Structure 1
């Protein structure tokens, strides 16, 4: 009878600490092998999945060791799954010839899924400005839906700041303001945003250009192609001001873009072919530079003596 009583008591304690809810959670967190064909990309996934060198290395690793970190997905009504984290691992598994990959399936609402999707990618190296821009925007909108106001007209300033500052802290940005500057880039037309990713347009000018109307941005693309130049920060700021005043015509934009940039005026370029004829063949570039500096110093001293006479 004592043995029987002890069994009943143990069962009672187990019931106390293992509720139906916790048992369901344990079941959800189980790792499942799911066919790649049933794993679909996250809607509006802002991160590019490229078949670059890093992807090939990941595929080679999966061939040898398998997928070491399970992906995260959520169930879809049709019985398939939407990937939340693990888009690169899915592609690498495909390249490695795998038919399935390990996945943790969770029931997540749109906002929770978006935050996990963004956070799982923001720690990657070499993220493109466009990837950060859309990721920050998506996360801020998810936080807003969860109750933290992030819109610029909100009177709840403290909540608004905490939302963008939260994103900044978790993403390693220096401030919430910088996060909002990235979000502004989502207002650029694709052609300009591609130029930012390709480092043809710097971040600060790009931020200013994001305030131009879409048709003005398209006009800028055509003007840049004509001038074979990209706008400096000063030029971008002036175009923004003309746009806000309703005066940014094609002629105004062309006049601004045809100016010589200060950096171009301050730069002197001499080709090696131009310099070589003044130096012995044995002179290295470093020796040539040293000689030029000495000659310039002598010339400067002579000018100073002439001016003192």
Structure 2
């Protein structure tokens, strides 16, 4: 069928073979409605093509690349035209892309996601900013900004917007949040198979409130410095005109990092002020990230600590501007002085009880804060030496010894696991291993080695006496090694701390898996060294605090001795 151009001939318009035209990748429109496309094809069949397409030459060929006019090109293909009227322009890649995007964005059937991706590409080209895009397309900057945010939607939600399963207003609310929150919103509320908790069909305002309630955290609940949060785009205060309190955080990764960093720093500060205190947390209310970081630094952190009693909080001094008159302010100051006196008295009593071993101080790591607490002590055998309470230094030395034991216990436990994975079938059998008797050793043969000794896979998990006798009759050097080592591995389950079995197992590991054992030992020894260093620092702090008292006692005793001759003379 011949193409018809229903307009006055223009010298720049050329008939180009449709087979010589290649679509481009610049077009922001990726979806073409079939009904609309067929209607355009029927119009072309009746009236011809009213407006030419634009193409550019493809280098080193006789073909052309379509710049814009893809709907006309597709409709002409449906009609069966051999040629199509076209304007041939020699354009660079950048010029072709910008023209294609600009022309297609002015069509009415461009989807919001197609707009978003097109604006994003124009911004990334470096030739446009928000203001120039608003001027070029006759849109407000707020409109362009909203469309640009759509480019951050996860593919699943973008597809829902593309197919009109969610509205532009709903997408505008969702795109304010990061990928993690978007993913949860989709999986829990927008996915097709979600029923009871589905948000499909809800108003944008309802979804906005639901997201804020379920997926953001109230910053007022956290104790870290929130100066940076005031200007953060993930603060809900910066997402709306009406603000209350510190706002809510929609960036959970950043929130978790700032909170954990604060908790670690606060813990170290409280420990420095109270070197005899231990670290711990309750079963449920604690920050795992902070606990892991403190343990990696060498601190011992006890789990399932009792709730205890919080250390008294220092009273806050009254501010004069908070009171209506001078009398009320003076009354508040008087109350404050009494509160200060009570606070100092209470702290002194806690300090006395701590020194006498009546209570224990510990730093409780909570979810969002650090609290210095104390609990009454039960003087068990673990806390005494020959009936006498342990001194703070002795307690730390005892803890240091236990930490060393823990490092060895952990090394043994991990070594047990690694030994099961090693291959020692080809290794030379030592003289110490040769003392073992094969018949009894076969009781410990692992099932995965049955086939090596001629036992079928269908055999029961246990060998009977006849099986063992048959195996012994056909032993080779390799099968001997397998049997003996399987026996040793079976016995290593009883390895514990520094018992003889543990020593044998570690010797075995040094021979057959030296690299793995070295890695295990290094890991736990590094933790011990860090903990050892912390304990030495805390011991030094305790000794430093006690030293001035000892010196004063010595000076007083010396003064008393000097006074005796005078008293005698008198």
TM-score, normalised to structure 1, is 0.58
Greater Cα offset, 215-224 or 71-80: 215-224
Where do residues 205-284 of structure 1 align in structure 2 (5 Å cutoff)? Answer: 205-224=170-189, 225=191, 226=194, 227-230=197-200, 232-237=207-212, 239=215, 242-246=249-253
Structure 1: how far apart are the matches of 2:251 and 2:65? 42
- Tell me, yes or no, if structure 1 residue 93 matches structure 2 residue 76: yes
* Offset from partner CA, 1:16-40 (integer Å, 9 cap, x none): xxxxxxxxxxxxx732222223222
Aligned to 2:533: none
Q: CA deviation at 1:196?
A: 1.6
Give secondary structure in 2 for the equivalent of 1:232. Answer: helix
Contact map agreement 1:205 1:236 (CA 8 A) in 2: no
Contact map agreement 1:39 1:81 (CA 8 A) in 2: yes
Give secondary structure in 2 for the equivalent of 1:33. Answer: strand
Aligned to 1:191: 156
Structure 2: how far apart are the matches of 1:81 and 1:237? 51
- Tell me, yes or no, if structure 1 residue 45 matches structure 2 residue 27: yes
Give secondary structure in 2 for the equivalent of 1:84. Answer: strand
- Tell me, yes or no, if structure 1 residue 77 matches structure 2 residue 59: yes
Structure 2: how far apart are the matches of 1:111 and 1:41? 16
Q: 1:118 is matched with which residue: 89, 97, 101?
A: 101
Structure with larger RCO (C-alpha < 8 A, sep 6+): 1
Tell me: CA distance 1:235–1:247, structure 2 relative to 1, closer, same or farther (3 Å): farther
* Offset from partner CA, 1:202-257 (integer Å, 9 cap, x none): 324423423444454333322123322247122345536554133899xxxxxxxx
Tell me: CA distance 1:128–1:78, structure 2 relative to 1, closer, same or farther (3 Å): same
* Offset from partner CA, 1:149-185 (integer Å, 9 cap, x none): x3xxxxxxxxxxxxx2332233232x11320210110
Task: Report runs of 4+ in structure 1 exceeding 6 Å deviation.
Answer: none
- Tell me, yes or no, if structure 1 residue 67 matches structure 2 residue 49: yes
Q: CA deviation at 1:195?
A: 1.4
Give secondary structure in 2 for the equivalent of 1:191. Answer: helix
Tell me: CA distance 1:219–1:77, structure 2 relative to 1, closer, same or farther (3 Å): farther
TM-score, normalised to structure 2, is 0.33
Q: CA deviation at 1:102?
A: 1.2
| Structure 2 unaligned blocks of 5 or more | 1-10, 201-205, 217-247, 257-570
Aligned to 2:136: 170
Q: CA deviation at 1:194?
A: 1.8
Give secondary structure in 2 for the equivalent of 1:47. Answer: coil
Structure 2: how far apart are the matches of 1:99 and 1:196? 37
CA RMSD of aligned residues (A): 2.7
Contact map agreement 1:41 1:82 (CA 8 A) in 2: yes
| Structure 1 unaligned blocks of 5 or more | 1-28, 151-163, 250-309
Greater Cα offset, 92-101 or 36-45: 36-45
- Tell me, yes or no, if structure 1 residue 201 matches structure 2 residue 178: no
Tell me: CA distance 1:139–1:245, structure 2 relative to 1, closer, same or farther (3 Å): same
Contact map agreement 1:204 1:233 (CA 8 A) in 2: no
Q: CA deviation at 1:74?
A: 1.5
Q: Give 1 or 2 for the bigger CA radius of gyration.
A: 2
Q: CA deviation at 1:94?
A: 0.6
Greater Cα offset, 86-95 or 130-139: 130-139
Q: CA deviation at 1:97?
A: 0.9
